[in-house]
């Protein structure tokens, strides 16, 4: 039947072309980690995971490092990021601005819980003089432990209004703590685990928040297929304990399935958060 | 032949391989020199960078030892509790945090205090990571804290490998630990890059000082080197320096190319510095692998420099031309060798074919050569080859024999030397002329062998094909010359003494001898070209000549006697032999007559047969010739008449007039008879006294009788008075005529008797009359 040969070839060509055109099954994903530490250290925490995904699913990872949480949210909305590792506040901010998100995995803390705290800390030898304006080192405007939780903790613990203190964003939790250790600030607001890590340097925690929903991997449903999202979710949830415990950093305590409703507790008016410090 | 060609080709290939190898080595040396220069430059800059930081580190160390607060903290730390140490660590951090920020700007990555026990006291690059023991895994820390010596060098660590500068901290004789300044590769690379900004650099770390040395949780900071073989690079996702070249397509291609080179792995595993030249996409690169040694002088890493170097292209282009020329030359030589070989094989084949097919010819040539040699050696002609100076180059045995000289004698002289002095000049001219003329033939030359002996040679000369030698063929003609002289003498003798002549076929005289001229009275000029009739005796009967021509025309020799007429009208007798002469084709071309002057003999003969008084034949001649005539008549079947005449009363006349008058009458009558018998076949005789006889051939009876009567009448007409005659007043005669047929003739005697009877009858019947009788016809 030679007269059928050409239509069949045309059909097959169109089938292959259209399936390729509309597929979201990417071989390389653009991943943006939350910049809680300096670039190399931040990425380093995720390298074992991305190696694992490549091994399990054949997915390559292209790291997109943005120093500013806001820039991550903006890029995500633009479709430049397929998966982002976000804390509660950035996630809530993103959810408010962009509907095609799917939190897929939430990382556990060292205590095995997916929840964590934000804390305020200071160098033990430093004395707080509440009569004077305090110098507060913060992470980032959209960081949960940044202005949002530090303001709350200062208010709750010392009855102090952060907006009336001297504060500045040091862009990462570590930087906020080390800036305080250097003596540039009297108090630093950061995530509890990161703060505890610096206790060998004479740091003490002076205030703790309630448990907050953890850090989650959020998928961009516009740029990733459901299958890809499900494959990644399944692969990470299927990790055995021995494997993830061999990893260093934020992922070393394992994963839980993300629940978007966990973040409903974050009641924030983003207009109240200043995006710049007030130290000249 | 094939072996010889194979050897030639093998030699060309070997020489070509030698030259090619030389070019390869030369090119390799040029490139190696370039590569070495590059490596040397990189190494020098590298050492400079290391030493720059060494100097800075020494200065920092000096300031540290003089920082009293720092010394206090460290002294307190040595004896502090765990909790106190945390605060002291924080104080130390606060003391140097800003300075560390400054050091970072200088390229110092790690600023690390160690306790006197060799544990980490404070890492400024990761402040929260501390307290871990290092003395057992870090040679530098062990050396600084046990031997209290500074240590410099590249070394792995728990976090990063780096260029380490360690100093023991000793204050007030207290060992407080050690301080380490560690410089990242980026810092070293920056200094090198400032010198060579266009180059690109990368550090490939040995596994033992990177992956194996760091905290387990830090291993992800490294990834396997593209070159493998136990080397790692900083994770490209984390490291700025790795990330720099991460997506560089040129470096990716270069790495792929050099990795695929055969000798690369072996060089790389050797863990020594080496360089690789590479041409990629028409650009030259030198990739220098500088082996970085650790503090124990063991290979720790490769500092790889990617340098674009157009000089490599120039070298390559230069050698491309050399290679092209080389291959073109080799190709040309091989093609030429092939063509020559092809031609040689063709010639060999042809020669073989010729050899195969022309064996007979060769044998023939050999045979001909032998024959020639035989001819040369056996010919009586002398064969000589001389040069233009007439030196003997070759001569055969015949020539030696001809001159009666030995080989050695001939070798010491020249041809010209032998030439007779009269002819030396002319021979020299011949030698000069032969260069143009090329050959001379039949030249007679005299050779003076000594003062007495002169040799006559007939020579032919020919210029040899090489135009440098002359071939002479010589024939000894001395004997011929002698014979020729004899012949000439003889001929001269003959010419003078032998009457000879030669005519053409028409009888025109072509040659006469001097003797001929002498006897005939003519000169040669008067005779040559004229008819032989010029000397013909008109009285000689036609029959004689017919007989003569009839004989010589049938190419027979005619012999006879002729009477010829001289220029002055007198006659001479010759006995002659006429024979035909032939040309080389044996065709008759004329006649030669050899005469003998027999005039004298004829005169004697004539006297002996002539009657002295009447001058006609005498009785003696009659007796001699009569039988011969009769024989001739019988042979020719002729008729013949014999007439006897007797003067009437002649006795009375003598008595009357005397004997003298009587003799006169006899003379007159004889004259008449002679007149009547003038034909060739007529003979008149005085038979005795007054009796005469005539023999003549009879045509018929009437004419014969008429002839006889006329004779009588003529005698009577003489009117010689004869008074004593009884039958007439004048002298008369009686005549008996006997004509006979051949078969009737018995012999001369009978015929004479019959004629005499008829005379008697005539006399008896009255005289002055004829009485005749004829034979009866059949």
Nearest CA in chain A to B241: A40
Contact B91 A200 (CB under 8 A): no
Burial B156-190 (b: 16+ CB within 10 A, else e): bbbbbbbbbbbbbbebeeeebbbbbbbbbbbbbbe
Nearest CA in chain B to A49: B220
Least CB-CB distance to B127: which of A63, A201, A247?
A201
DSSP 8-class letter at A133: P
- For the stretch B427-467, pLDDT in tens is 888 888 888 888 888 898 988 877 778 888 899 999 888 88
pLDDT of residue A18: 41
pLDDT of residue A41: 79
- For the stretch A213-237, pLDDT in tens is 988 999 999 999 999 999 999 999 9
DSSP H helices in chain A = 5-22, 39-57, 69-77, 88-97, 149-158, 173-182, 192-197, 226-237, 241-246
Could you tell me if A248 lies within 8 Å of chain B, comparing CB atoms? yes
Phi, psi angle pair for B81, to nearest 5°: -80, 175
- For the stretch A162-199, pLDDT in tens is 999 999 999 899 999 999 999 999 999 999 989 999 99
- Predicted confidence band of residue A151 (pLDDT cuts 50, 70, 90): very high
- For the stretch B461-480, pLDDT in tens is 998 888 889 999 998 888 88
Residues of B with CB under 8 A from a CB of A: 86-91, 93-94, 97-98, 122, 127-128, 130-131, 215-218, 220-221, 235, 237-240
- For the stretch B74-93, pLDDT in tens is 999 999 999 999 999 999 99
Least CB-CB distance to B90: which of A43, A181, A197?
A181
In this predicted structure, the answer to whether residue B237 has a pLDDT above a threshold of 80 is: no
- What is the C-alpha separation between B400 and B417, in angstroms, rounded? 15
- Predicted confidence band of residue B102 (pLDDT cuts 50, 70, 90): very high
| B193, B221 Cβ separation under 8 angstroms | no
DSSP 8-class letter at B146: I
| A70, A247 Cβ separation under 8 angstroms | no
pTM: predicted TM-score of the whole model, two decimal places: 0.52
In this predicted structure, the answer to whether residue A10 has a pLDDT above a threshold of 60 is: no
Sequence length of chain A is 280
State both tokens at A262: 């966990």
Contact B238 A47 (CB under 8 A): yes
Could you tell me if A123 lies within 8 Å of chain B, comparing CB atoms? yes
pLDDT of residue B638: 81
- What is the C-alpha separation between A114 and A213, in angstroms, rounded? 7
Q: Residue B690 catalytic?
A: yes
Least CB-CB distance to B89: which of A51, A197, A200?
A200
pLDDT of residue B242: 61
In this predicted structure, the answer to whether residue B267 has a pLDDT above a threshold of 90 is: no
- For the stretch A17-42, pLDDT in tens is 444 344 445 589 999 998 877 787 78
- What is the C-alpha separation between A61 and A53, in angstroms, rounded? 9
Selected residue with higher pLDDT from B8 and B131: B131
State both tokens at B406: 């030995």
Please tell me the distance in Å from A44's CA to the nearest CA on chain B: 7
Contact A43 B238 (CB under 8 A): yes
pLDDT of residue A25: 57
Contact A202 B239 (CB under 8 A): no
pLDDT of residue B378: 77
Contact A248 B87 (CB under 8 A): no
pLDDT of residue B776: 61
Residue whose C-alpha is closest to residue A123's, from A182, A168, A165:
A182
Contact B91 A48 (CB under 8 A): no
Nearest CA in chain A to B92: A201
> How many CB atoms lie under 10 A from the CB of residue A15?
10
Sequence length of chain B is 778
Contact B86 A44 (CB under 8 A): no
Query: What is the largest distance, in Å, between two alpha-carbon atoms of chain A?
Result: 95
pLDDT of residue B466: 87
- Predicted confidence band of residue B282 (pLDDT cuts 50, 70, 90): confident
- Predicted confidence band of residue B239 (pLDDT cuts 50, 70, 90): low
- What is the C-alpha separation between A29 and A31, in angstroms, rounded? 6
- Predicted confidence band of residue B241 (pLDDT cuts 50, 70, 90): low
Rounded to two decimals, the ipTM of the complex is 0.78
Stretch B5-15: mean pLDDT, rounded? 81
Chain A / chain B CB contacts < 8 angstroms = 79
pLDDT of residue B661: 92
Of B180, B690, B748, B754, the active-site residue reads B690
Q: Provide, as residue numbers in chain A, all residues whose Cβ is less than 8 Å from the Cβ of B87.
A: 123-125, 202
In this predicted structure, the answer to whether residue B95 has a pLDDT above a threshold of 70 is: yes
| B598, B561 Cβ separation under 8 angstroms | yes
Please tell me the distance in Å from A266's CA to the nearest CA on chain B: 30
- Predicted confidence band of residue B756 (pLDDT cuts 50, 70, 90): very high
> Beta strand pairing status for A83-86 and A28-32?
parallel
Residue whose C-alpha is closest to residue B416's, from B406, B405, B430:
B430
Contact B220 A47 (CB under 8 A): yes
Contact A201 B218 (CB under 8 A): no
pLDDT of residue A206: 96
Highest averaged pLDDT of the listed ranges B8-12, B133-137, B243-247, B537-541? B133-137
Please tell me the distance in Å from B157's CA to the nearest CA on chain A: 17
CA dihedral B209, B212, B215, B218 (to 10 degrees): 90
Q: Provide, as residue numbers in chain A, all residues whose Cβ is less than 8 Å from the Cβ of B113.
A: none
Stretch B138-161: mean pLDDT, rounded? 89
| 3-state SS assignment for residue B103 | helix
Stretch B111-138: mean pLDDT, rounded? 93
| B368, B353 Cβ separation under 8 angstroms | no
Contact B127 A183 (CB under 8 A): no
> Beta strand pairing status for A203-208 and B299-308?
unpaired
Q: Provide, as residue numbers in chain B, all residues whose Cβ is less than 8 Å from the Cβ of A181.
A: 90, 93-94, 97, 127
Q: Provide, as residue numbers in chain B, all residues whose Cβ is less than 8 Å from the Cβ of A203.
A: 90
- What is the C-alpha separation between B643 and B739, in angstroms, rounded? 8
State both tokens at A130: 């509440």
- For the stretch A243-273, pLDDT in tens is 888 887 888 888 999 988 888 888 888 888 9
Please tell me the distance in Å from B222's CA to the nearest CA on chain A: 10
State both tokens at B778: 């059949």
pLDDT of residue B170: 95
- Predicted confidence band of residue B561 (pLDDT cuts 50, 70, 90): confident
Helix, strand counts (H, E) of chain A:
9, 11
Least CB-CB distance to A44: which of B93, B127, B221?
B221
Which residues have C-beta within 8 Å of that of residue B731, sequence separation ≥ 6?
Answer: B647, B648, B653, B665, B669, B715, B716, B718, B720, B721, B722, B725
- Predicted confidence band of residue B668 (pLDDT cuts 50, 70, 90): very high
Q: What is the mean pLDDT of chain B?
A: 87
Please tell me the distance in Å from A140's CA to the nearest CA on chain B: 21
Please tell me the distance in Å from B206's CA to the nearest CA on chain A: 21
In this predicted structure, the answer to whether residue B389 has a pLDDT above a threshold of 90 is: no
Q: What is the mean pLDDT of chain A?
A: 87
Reported as type and span, the H/E element at residue B740 is strand B733-740
Could you tell me if A202 lies within 8 Å of chain B, comparing CB atoms? yes
pLDDT of residue A5: 53
- What is the C-alpha separation between B202 and B688, in angstroms, rounded? 178
């Amino acid at each position: 039947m030679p007269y059928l040969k050409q239509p069949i070839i045309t059909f097959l060509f169109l089938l292959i072309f259209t399936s390729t055109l509309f597929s979201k099954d990417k071989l390389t994903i653009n991943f943006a980690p939350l910049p809680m530490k300096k670039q190399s250290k931040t990425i380093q925490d995720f390298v074992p995971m991305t190696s694992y995904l490549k091994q399990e699913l054949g997915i390559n990872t292209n790291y997109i490092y943005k120093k500013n949480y806001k820039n991550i949210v903006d890029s995500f909305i633009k479709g430049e990021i397929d998966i982002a590792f976000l804390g509660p506040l950035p996630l809530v901010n993103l959810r408010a601005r962009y509907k095609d998100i799917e939190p897929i995995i939430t990382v556990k803390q060292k205590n095995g819980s997916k929840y964590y705290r934000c804390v305020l800390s200071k160098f033990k030898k430093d004395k707080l003089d509440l009569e004077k304006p305090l110098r507060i080192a913060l992470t980032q405007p959209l960081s949960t432990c940044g202005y949002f939780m530090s303001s709350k903790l200062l208010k709750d613990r010392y009855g102090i209004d952060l907006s009336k203190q001297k504060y500045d964003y040091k862009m990462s939790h570590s930087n906020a703590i080390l800036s305080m250790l250097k003596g540039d600030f009297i108090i630093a607001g950061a995530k509890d685990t990161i703060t505890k890590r610096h206790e060998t340097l004479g740091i003490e925690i002076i205030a703790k928040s309630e448990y907050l929903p953890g850090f989650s991997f959020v998928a961009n449903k516009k740029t990733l297929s459901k299958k890809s999202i499900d494959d990644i979710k399944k692969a990470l949830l299927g990790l055995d304990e021995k494997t993830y415990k061999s990893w260093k950093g934020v992922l070393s305590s394992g994963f839980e399935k993300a629940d978007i409703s966990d973040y409903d507790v974050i009641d924030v008016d983003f207009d109240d958060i200043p995006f710049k410090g007030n130290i000249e | 032949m094939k072996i010889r060609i194979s050897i030639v080709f093998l030699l060309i290939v070997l020489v070509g391989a030698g030259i090619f190898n030389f070019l390869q080595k030369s090119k390799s040396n040029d490139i190696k020199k370039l590569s070495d220069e590059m490596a040397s430059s990189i190494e020098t800059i590298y050492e400079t960078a290391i030493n720059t930081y060494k100097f800075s580190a020494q200065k920092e160390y000096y300031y540290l030892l003089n920082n009293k607060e720092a010394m206090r903290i460290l002294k307190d730390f040595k004896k502090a509790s765990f909790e106190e140490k945390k605060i002291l660590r924080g104080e130390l951090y606060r003391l140097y945090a800003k300075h560390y920020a400054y050091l970072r700007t200088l390229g110092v990555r790690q600023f690390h205090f160690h306790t006197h026990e060799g544990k980490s006291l404070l890492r400024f690059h990761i402040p929260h990571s501390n307290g871990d023991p290092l003395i057992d895994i870090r040679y530098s820390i062990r050396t600084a804290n046990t031997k209290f010596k500074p240590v410099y060098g590249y070394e792995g660590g728990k976090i990063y490998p780096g260029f380490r500068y360690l100093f023991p901290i000793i204050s007030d004789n207290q060992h407080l630990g050690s301080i380490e300044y560690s410089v990242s590769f980026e810092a070293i690379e920056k200094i090198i890059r400032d010198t060579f900004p266009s180059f690109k650099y990368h550090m490939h770390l040995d596994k033992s000082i990177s992956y194996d040395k760091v905290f387990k949780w830090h291993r992800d900071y490294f990834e396997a080197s593209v070159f493998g073989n136990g080397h790692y690079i900083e994770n490209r996702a984390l490291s700025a320096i790795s990330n720099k070249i991460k997506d560089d397509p040129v470096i990716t291609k270069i790495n792929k190319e050099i990795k695929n080179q055969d000798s690369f792995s072996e060089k790389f595993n050797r863990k020594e510095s080496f360089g690789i030249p590479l041409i990629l996409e028409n650009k030259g690169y030198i990739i220098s692998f500088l082996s970085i040694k650790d503090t124990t002088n063991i290979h720790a890493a490769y500092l790889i420099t990617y340098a674009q170097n157009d000089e490599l292209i120039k070298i390559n282009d230069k050698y491309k031309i050399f290679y092209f020329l080389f291959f073109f030359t080799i190709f040309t030589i091989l093609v030429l060798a092939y063509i020559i070989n092809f031609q040689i094989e063709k010639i060999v084949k042809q020669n073989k074919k010729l050899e195969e097919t022309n064996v007979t010819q060769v044998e023939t040539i050999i045979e001909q050569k032998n024959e020639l040699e035989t001819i040369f050696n056996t010919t009586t002609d002398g064969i000589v080859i001389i040069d233009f100076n007439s030196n003997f180059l070759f001569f055969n045995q015949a020539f030696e024999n001809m001159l009666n000289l030995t080989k050695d004698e001939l070798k010491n002289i020249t041809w010209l030397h032998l030439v007779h002095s009269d002819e030396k000049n002319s021979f020299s001219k011949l030698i000069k002329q032969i260069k143009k003329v090329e050959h001379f033939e039949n030249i007679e030359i005299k050779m003076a062998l000594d003062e007495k002996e002169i040799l006559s040679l007939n020579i032919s000369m020919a210029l040899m094909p090489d135009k440098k030698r002359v071939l002479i063929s010589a024939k000894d003609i001395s004997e011929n010359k002698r014979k020729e002289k004899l012949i000439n003498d003889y001929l001269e003798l003959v010419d003078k003494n032998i009457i000879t002549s030669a005519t053409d076929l028409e009888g025109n005289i072509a040659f006469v001898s001097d003797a001929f001229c002498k006897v005939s009275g003519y000169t040669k000029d008067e005779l040559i070209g004229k008819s032989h009739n010029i000397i013909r005796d008109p009285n000689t009967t036609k029959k004689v000549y017919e007989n003569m021509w009839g004989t010589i025309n049938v190419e027979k020799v005619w012999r006879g006697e002729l009477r010829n007429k001289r220029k002055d009208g007198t006659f001479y007798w010759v006995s002659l032999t006429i024979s035909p002469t032939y040309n080389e084709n044996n065709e008759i071309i004329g006649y030669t007559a050899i005469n003998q002057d027999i005039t004298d003999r004829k005169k004697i003969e004539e006297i002996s047969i002539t009657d002295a008084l009447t001058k006609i034949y005498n009785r003696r001649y009659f007796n001699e010739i009569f039988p011969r005539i009769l024989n001739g008549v019988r042979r020719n079947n002729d008729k013949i008449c014999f007439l006897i005449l007797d003067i009437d009363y002649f006795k009375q006349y003598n008595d009357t007039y005397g004997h003298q008058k009587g003799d006169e009458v006899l003379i007159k009558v004889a004259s008449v008879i002679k007149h009547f018998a003038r034909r060739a076949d007529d003979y008149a005789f005085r038979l005795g006294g007054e009796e005469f006889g005539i023999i003549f051939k009879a045509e018929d009876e009437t004419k014969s009788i008429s002839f006889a009567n006329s004779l009588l009448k003529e005698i009577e007409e003489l009117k010689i008075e004869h008074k004593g005659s009884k039958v007439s007043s004048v002298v008369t005669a009686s005549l008996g005529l006997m004509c006979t047929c051949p078969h009737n003739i018995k012999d001369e005697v009978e015929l004479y008797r019959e004629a005499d009877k008829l005379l008697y009858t005539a006399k008896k019947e009255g005289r002055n009359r004829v009485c005749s009788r004829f034979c009866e016809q059949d």
